[in-house]
Amino acid sequence: MTLVSSRPIEDRLNAIGHGVIDVDQETYDLFSCDFPQRNLGMVDDKASSLEVDVAGERYDIRQSPGLLTSSNAEGTTGAALWKISPLLAEWLADQTNALWSTGILDLDVVVVELGCGITGLVGLVMAKRVSTYILTDQRSVLKLLQENVDANAPHANRSKVKSRASRKVERSSEGNSNARVMELNWELDDAAALDDALSPGGQIDLVIVCDCVFNDFLLQPLVTMCQKICLRSIEKRTALLVAQQLRSYEVFSAFMELLLIKFNVWRLSDASLPPTLHSGSGFVVHLAILR
């Protein structure tokens, strides 16, 4: 692992992906593919609970169909499980994949996920495979998110949610907890809030954004939050992983334009991904680092 980690991260990303230079070309290449729209979207938007098998284990997941159809001002898309989440979680859990083989993921890394939603599935799967996994989202989803973390405690130990006023994230009485839940609003909060979930002087190795690129009004706050989090790590350059369903040509293009102002971006090649995330699947995975 030491030999892998000593290679510049740009070299490691060049080995597993294609550098993105031209936004128009990237957008055209992705959206010109014929992908099956009917197989995308949510797993089941009407179910209040789901059983999901990932990496040989079963996860019991609660959803909120009521919140999904409400007019909640903070948004409702995080109230259900989207199809890309179990696909991404399955791939991330495979320790033979490109992220593990290049040292971007290992047992000692600290991961922050933005907009994890009520289900928190990626975090539930990955929390026991890394040093610390911090699940973040808006206040409206935290109660059910915490319940999902608690219900799947054998997979991801519990941690407690605190209000914005105290902002502290506590470890559970069961011992060291790899999964930590906290409120983080891209528009209102600062990345410094994450310090409460980290060990003193702790660095963030990877930021995960799974299926959060859909609202053009939130693109700038999302990119700004990613930038601020990545700037907080001094000793090691933080990688950003963005996995998304391809929905709107215009929204995707606008997101990439903003991302490329501050980040160098690579699209992971089909050789680095499972068939479920290949070109033409309707999903795409990018990795980025600050310029």
Range of weakest confidence among 8-22, 104-118, 188-202, 270-284: 188-202
Q: What is the pLDDT of residues 189-232, one digit of tens each?
A: 999 999 888 888 789 999 999 999 999 999 999 999 999 999 98
Report the distance separating Cα 20 and Cα 161, nearest Å.
38
Question: What domain range is 274 assigned to?
Answer: 2-290
**Percent of the chain clearing pLDDT 90 (strictly above):** 72
99 contacts 92 by C-beta, under 8 angstroms: yes
Cα dihedral 96→100→105→106 (10° resolution): 80
197 contacts 132 by C-beta, under 8 angstroms: yes
> Residue 148: what residue type?
N
Please, is 113 exposed, middle or buried when counting C-beta atoms within 10 Å of its C-beta (0-12, 13-18, 19+)?
A: buried
pLDDT in the model for residue 233: 82
pLDDT in the model for residue 177: 63
Q: By C-alpha distance, which of 107, 112, 92 is closest to 232?
A: 112
42 contacts 81 by C-beta, under 8 angstroms: yes
181 contacts 152 by C-beta, under 8 angstroms: no
How many CA atoms within 13 Å lie on the side-chain side of 189? Answer: 23
| pLDDT, mean of residues 44-72 | 85
Give one word for 75, left, alpha or beta, with left for phi > 0 and alpha for psi -120 to 50: left
> Residue 49: what residue type?
S
What CATH number has the domain bearing residue 102? 3.40.50.150
Count of structural domains, the chain: 1
Between residues 3 and 48, the one the model is more confident about: 48
| Whether the predicted pLDDT of 247 surpasses 80 | yes
Q: What is the pLDDT of residues 126-178, one digit of tens each?
A: 999 999 999 999 998 999 999 999 999 765 544 444 444 344 444 333 434 68
| pLDDT, mean of residues 239-244 | 98
Report the distance separating Cα 188 and Cα 139, nearest Å.
12
